[in-house]
Each structure stands twice: as C-alpha cells, then as structure tokens.
Amino acid sequence: MAETSNARKRILSGMQPTGTGALHIGNLEGALRNWVRMQDEYEMYCCIVDWHALTTRYTESGEIWEACLQVAADYLAAGIDPKKAPVFVQSQVKEHAELHLLLSMITPLGWLERIPSFKEKRDIMVEKGEGDESISYGLMGYPCLQAADILLYRAHAVPVGKDQAAHLEISREIARRFNRLYGDVFPEPQSHISETTAVVPGLDGRKMSKSYGNAIYMADSADEVKQKVMNAFTTPTKLRKSDPGIPESCVVCQLRRVYDPEGYLTSWDEDRAGERGCVQSKRELVDILNAALEPIRLKRQEILADRAELERILADGADRARETAENTMRLVRSAMGFK
C-alpha cells in the first residue's frame, strides 16, 4: 500500500442534504463534533452526499443543490476548517460514481437486502402508498454507494452516529471482498462512534431525525428552541414535582447530559428524588442549549451571506478530494486489469 506507517491516517465522513439541508443537533453531537476534533490529527474529508439524497428525492432533484449549501454552512459553522479538511459535494467528484459501479458488480444482492435501513425505507414508502415503482435500484444500492464514498479515499476511520453501524459493516465486507478478488487496495474502514452521543434522542423520545419531525436544528432561533424544549417528552409518570423521574429515559435529561457534562448529574439526582419539576429542567435546558447554539447560529448566517465564497470553498474542496480519488481509482483499475 502507498501509505507509510507514519503517514497521517485518513478519515472520511458524509451527511445527506435531506429536506432543506439544515442539520440537527443529532447530526452535530453524533458526528460533526467528532469531525471537528479529528480534523487536526487526521487527513479528513467532509462530504455532502447529494446522490444519496436522490435515492428518495428524485422528484425534487432541483432543490438538492441549495440543501447542499445549507449542509456546508453547518459544517463550517460547527468548526470545520475547509483549509485543513476539504468540504465537497459528492456529485462534483465523478469518481464516486465509477467506484460505485465497480463495487456494485461484486456486492451480493443478499447483503443489500438485509440492511435494516433499506427495509425501513421500503416500508415507509409502501406505507405512504408510493408503491413499488418508488423503490429504485439506486435505493437498494445506497450502502454500496456509501462504501464507494469511504473506500475512494481509502479511509481508515469513519466518524458517524450509531445508526450508521450497519452501513459501516457492509463497507468493510465489500472492502474485504474486493481485496480478496483483486489484491490489497483498501484498508478496512473502522467506525468511530462516541458513546454518550451515539444516538441523540429527538423531542418525542425516538432517535432525532428529520423524517420524524422531532428535531432541534442548528439553525433554529432561540425562540424555536424554547418552544420545542418546553413541549418535549419527559418521564410520563412524573406528573408533579415530587414524583420521581427516570432521567435515563427522559429526553430533557438526556439532552442535558450531552450539553452539560459537568453539571448534569446533580440535576439527574434531583429529578430522581422528586426534588425538581420538569418545567424547571426544561427552562434550564433551553438556556444551556441556546448558549451552546448561539455562536453556531451567528456563524452560519455570516457564512450564508456570501454564497459565492461558499461555492468557491466547495469547488476547491472537490478539486482536492478528486486528486485523492483519482489516485485510488488508478490503483483500483490496475488491480482489476483495466487500463
């Protein structure tokens, strides 16, 4: 392999420009904070995976570019430095498509069929009455495209939330299969998941997700954050202040743990002992969240005020990503016997 042992290890990660593109605090705490921490130590690539968004949004393809800009603004506002870590859009580096095609030839259908996220998406689309025609070949190949994203940079580690574990597992399986068939080209990418933020809960107690409508967004105003938190689920059996709470399953307590790692234990003890009410916990969480999100909000507004500069950053990111991607593709083509 080309890398020497003292070369900086490489990491890649990506997020989908779903909906308007704005990221939520599950994306932020589950993955993006780790990217920011890792960008100095590793050679890091920050992808915005617009082709993945197309697997379910093919009727809205015209809206995806604007959503990509929103994701880019959130990456930068959270502290990604594009000079250190290229920020780029997947569709601007065509090598993702070439590697996806080649990997699709060696990926057994059975592996894709048993991926839980495929089954989930298929069930949601059937439930919505969208019918069989909305379940495309591309949707089924989603994990294969994700494997291509990762392997194209010969990444050693991939910082993600826990919901991506199955996708990482299949990426490793595809890497192993390629290496067995054609020779050692790819390192096996390891997932990098933070324990306390592996699954950030949404306001209704399920995983925070755009599609559940239970998310707090990085771009939400202080008032929006307040309204959302004041309506969040707490312990259902805690009706009065003196009733004992169960912080382990209370959304407000869980978010407090993420945003107040030093102080949350006292509030949890009081909650359990029936010494504090949920309204007090909610009010305190609103202040803690808004204090943490305010600088990010201001920065993202500043960034979005200069679209031309943002597009320049993405074009530069794509150029740098492409260089690495081209090197990998030369190794891949040669291993497979293509010119």
Which is catalytic among the residues 121, 226, 228, 282? Answer: 121
Distance CA 247, CA 249 (A): 5
Instruction: State the Cα torsion 328-331-335-339 to the nearest 10°.
Output: 110
228 labelled catalytic: no
- Please select the residue that binds ligand TYM; options are 200, 250, 253, 255, rule is CB under 6 A: 200
Distance CA 125, CA 278 (A): 37
Residue 247 near ligand TYM by CB under 6 A:
no
121 labelled catalytic: yes
Which is catalytic among the residues 9, 207, 241, 299? Answer: 207
Query: Phi and psi (nearest 5°) for 235?
Result: -75, 120
Distance CA 223, CA 100 (A): 43
| Neighbour count for residue 265 (Cβ, 10 Å) | 13
- By beta-carbon proximity to ligand TYM, the closer residue of 52 and 156 is 52
Q: Are 17 and 71 in contact (CB under 8 A)?
A: yes
Q: Provide, rounded to whole angstroms, the least separation between the CB of residue 110 and ligand TYM.
A: 20
- Please select the residue that binds ligand TYM; options are 63, 98, 163, 188, rule is CB under 6 A: 163
Residue type, 92: Q
Residue 13 near ligand TYM by CB under 6 A:
yes
- Please select the residue that binds ligand TYM; options are 11, 21, 22, 31, rule is CB under 6 A: 31
Residue 30 near ligand TYM by CB under 6 A:
yes
- Please select the residue that binds ligand TYM; options are 10, 11, 14, 73, rule is CB under 6 A: 14
Distance CA 10, CA 41 (A): 9
- By beta-carbon proximity to ligand TYM, the closer residue of 161 and 277 is 161
Q: Are 98 and 320 in contact (CB under 8 A)?
A: no
Q: Provide, rounded to whole angstroms, the least separation between the CB of residue 273 and ligand TYM.
A: 29
Interacting positions 138-157 with ligand TYM (CB under 6 A): 146, 149-150
Which range of residues in 25-33, 228-236, 283-291, 300-308 is near ligand TYM by CB under 6 A?
Answer: 25-33
- Residue nearest ligand TYM, CB atom distance: 30
Tokens of residue 268, six digits: 């949890």
Per-residue contact string for residues 207-246; x = within reach of ligand TYM by CB under 6 A: xxx-------------------------------------
Query: From residue 167, how far is each of 73, 91, 117, 163, 193 by CA, in Å?
Result: 26, 20, 9, 8, 13
**∠65-66-71 over CA atoms, to 5°?**
95
Distance CA 100, CA 253 (A): 42
- Please select the residue that binds ligand TYM; options are 167, 192, 282, 322, rule is CB under 6 A: 167
DSSP string, 285-296: HHHHHHHHHHHH
Report the catalytic residues.
121, 207, 210
Q: Where do contacts with ligand TYM occur on this chain (CB under 6 A)?
A: 12-16, 26-27, 30-31, 49, 52, 146, 149-150, 158, 160-161, 163-164, 167, 197, 199-200, 207-209
